[in-house]
Amino acid sequence: MSRRSIIRKFQVFTGEDTSLNPLSIPSDVSGVDSITYQLSIDPAVNASMEIHFSNDEKFDQASTEKLDFGQLTTLLGSTDESYIVHIANKGFKWLQVRVIDNGGSGNVNAWITGTVGGA
């Protein structure tokens, strides 16, 4: 019988100021098939979000690359204060969230979870 790998809900941003363009802590996502980021933002936040990945054995910020979702992921607190992003793991070792301020202010909280698909 194989072991099931999961990432239990883990906070990667805790009250981070979006005006400082914060980077989340890197998360090792090897061994899981799907990853979910859940974000909660203040009403005055106006920012965009990027997910960066690295396949290096040891995390190195300089070697990360941005995932291309084909569109800008905007975080606009005046519209919605909760966001969920689902990612299929295509062999990624590390993931990290980057928030880029667009002139708003406020804080962001974020959590990551990961699961393995059924066999």
User: pLDDT tens for residues 23-81?
Assistant: 999 999 999 999 999 999 999 999 999 999 999 999 998 889 999 988 889 999 999 99
- pTM recorded for the entire structure: 0.90
User: What is the residue range of 31's domain?
Assistant: 7-115
* Domain assignment of residue 2, yes or no: no
* Domain assignment of residue 17, yes or no: yes
Q: What is the pLDDT of residue 35?
A: 97
Domain count, the chain: 1
Q: What is the pLDDT of residue 93?
A: 96
* Domain assignment of residue 30, yes or no: yes
- Please indicate whether residue 117 or residue 17 has the higher confidence score (pLDDT): 17
Let me know: does 104 contact 6? Beta carbons within 8 Å: no
E strands of the chain, at which residues?
7-17, 27-28, 34-41, 46-54, 65-66, 73-76, 82-88, 94-101, 107-115
